[in-house]
Amino acid sequence: MYRQIVVPENTQLLLQLPKEFVGRQVEVIAFTVKDVLKKKGDAYSLEKALEFFKAHPISLKNYKFNRERANER
């Protein structure tokens, strides 16, 4: 996988792909990313995950793992 975040200066964008992509099918997806200059990479993902779980708290206090049920076929 190859990921690159850019800020285009106009409506055209030229991508420089790694050599191992030559001759293979490549999917290109474009979408906007909020606050990309302020928050990057794993720290941003962790922050978003923590934000999500704080907004959706769950309790596993009474949960008991059932190995037999987990391995049923």
Q: Does any domain span residue 4?
A: no
Q: Does any domain span residue 64?
A: yes
pLDDT band of 5, cuts 50, 70, 90:
confident
Dump pLDDT digits (tens) for 8-51.
899 999 988 899 999 999 998 887 877 544 555 666 677 788 88
CB of 13 within 8 A of CB of 6? yes
Residues 6 or more apart in contact with residue 6 via CB below 8 angstroms: 13
Q: Does any domain span residue 42?
A: yes
Count up the domains in the chain and report the number: 1
Give the pLDDT confidence score for residue 65 in this predicted structure: 92
Q: Does any domain span residue 36?
A: yes
Q: Does any domain span residue 7?
A: no
Q: Does any domain span residue 1?
A: no
Q: Does any domain span residue 43?
A: yes
Dump pLDDT digits (tens) for 48-66.
888 888 888 888 888 999 9
Range(s) of the domain holding residue 39: 19-70
SS3 state at 7:
coil
Q: Does any domain span residue 56?
A: yes
C-alpha 21 chain-centroid distance? 21
